[in-house]
């Protein structure tokens, strides 16, 4: 599978390489941290031979591997000759920013030895200069936070027009009698809406049924609530995206998790699916009532 896309994240110690790797993992890359460069050809062969739909891999490689600088050029070029697409993303930052980060985390710079952190940073810059010249993208993290770095990396690899929004919206329904969902970021209690359970010709259907949906959502209370809910979520989601949140779990609960919560969850999911969000919908308790 020589069309495997291989992203190598490298750069200065303290520049945010781990954050960049997590950003790629959140958008579907198979990620490895600190893979020795000598193992890269074998790793790619294993990935290529496996019958899986993995076409994007990313890894952090840096000076933590003593042989990295001696061997990366030869290994990268050989892999490119074999048809692999290797893209280098190089992260850097100003001396003051890096010094502050090492001070805050109390980490030891890999090249400082018995000298100062600043001496280690200076030495690392010189050693990595040829690798920086090979990079497809250089990202300066001096004045950006972790959320902005994550957003920058993801936007480099994802097009909003081609792949939709970066945020995955997970919508679920549940019944309060079976307990709250443990993984919900937001929970809405919709037990105030008209209850189809008390309507003889509706009680045996669930919220997927059009008559049940209309009973719940076409009532004046349901219509007003749904409009306010959609306005509210439309306002919030761009802020979650801006902060770099990859997944938002929104849950709707009614008594048994069969009628009202299902209808509302379906309506919300469909609305944002039409607006190019990645949406998953799950009805936890629909079969229990």
Please provide the DSSP assignment of the chain as one string.
-TT-EEEEEEESTTSSHHHHHHHHHHTT-EEEES--GGGHHHHHHHHHHSSS---EEEEE--TTSTTHHHHHHHHHHHHHHTT-EEEEEEEE--HHHHHHHHHHHTPPPTTTTTS-HHHHHHHHHHHHHHHHHH-SEEEE-TT--HHHHHHHHHHHH--HHHH--S-EEEEEEEEGGG---TT-SEEEE-TTS--GGGSTTTTTS-TTSHHHHHHHHSSHHHHHHHHHHHHHHHHHHHHHHHTT--EEEEEEEESSSSSHHHHHHHHHHHHHHTTT-EEEEEETTTTT-
Confidence grade of residue 277 (pLDDT, cut at 50, 70, 90):
confident
What architecture does CATH give domain 5-158? 3-Layer(aba) Sandwich (3.40)
pLDDT tens digits for range 51-100: 565 668 999 998 888 788 888 889 998 988 888 888 999 999 998 888 88
Query: What residue ranges of the chain are covered by domains with CATH 3.40.50.300?
Result: 5-158
pLDDT score of 161 more than 50 = no
Confidence grade of residue 175 (pLDDT, cut at 50, 70, 90):
very high
pLDDT score of 207 more than 50 = yes
Indicate the pTM of the whole model: 0.57
pLDDT tens digits for range 95-149: 888 888 887 766 777 776 666 888 888 888 999 999 999 998 999 999 888 877 8
């Amino acid at each position: 599978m020589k069309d495997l896309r291989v992203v190598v994240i490298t750069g200065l110690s303290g520049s945010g390489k781990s954050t960049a790797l997590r950003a790629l993992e959140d958008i579907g890359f198979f990620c490895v941290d600190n893979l020795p460069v000598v193992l890269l050809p074998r790793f790619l062969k294993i990935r290529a031979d496996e019958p899986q739909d993995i076409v994007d891999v990313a890894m952090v490689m840096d000076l933590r591997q003593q042989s990295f600088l001696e061997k990366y050029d030869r290994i990268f070029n050989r892999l490119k000759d074999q048809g692999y697409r290797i893209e280098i993303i190089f992260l850097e930052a100003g001396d003051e920013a890096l010094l502050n980060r090492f001070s805050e985390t109390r980490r030891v710079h890999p090249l400082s030895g018995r000298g100062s952190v600043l001496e280690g940073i200076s030495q690392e810059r010189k050693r990595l200069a040829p690798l920086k010249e090979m990079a497809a993208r250089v990202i300066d993290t001096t004045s950006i936070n972790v959320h902005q770095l994550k957003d920058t990396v993801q936007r480099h690899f994802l097009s909003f027009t081609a792949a939709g929004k970066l945020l995955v919206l997970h919508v679920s329904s549940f019944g309060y009698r079976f307990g709250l969902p443990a993984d919900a970021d937001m929970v809405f209690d919709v037990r105030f809406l008209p209850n189809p359970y008390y309507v003889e010709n509706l009680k045996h259907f669930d919220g997927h049924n059009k008559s049940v949906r209309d009973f719940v959502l076409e009532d004046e209370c349901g219509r007003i609530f749904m409009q306010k809910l959609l306005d509210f979520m439309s306002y919030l989601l761009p802020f979650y995206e801006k902060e770099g949140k990859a997944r938002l779990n929104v849950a709707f609960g009614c008594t048994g998790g069969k009628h009202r919560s299902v209808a509302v969850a379906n309506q919300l999911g469909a609305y944002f699916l039409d607006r190019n969000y990645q949406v998953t919908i799950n009805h936890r308790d629909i079969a229990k009532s």
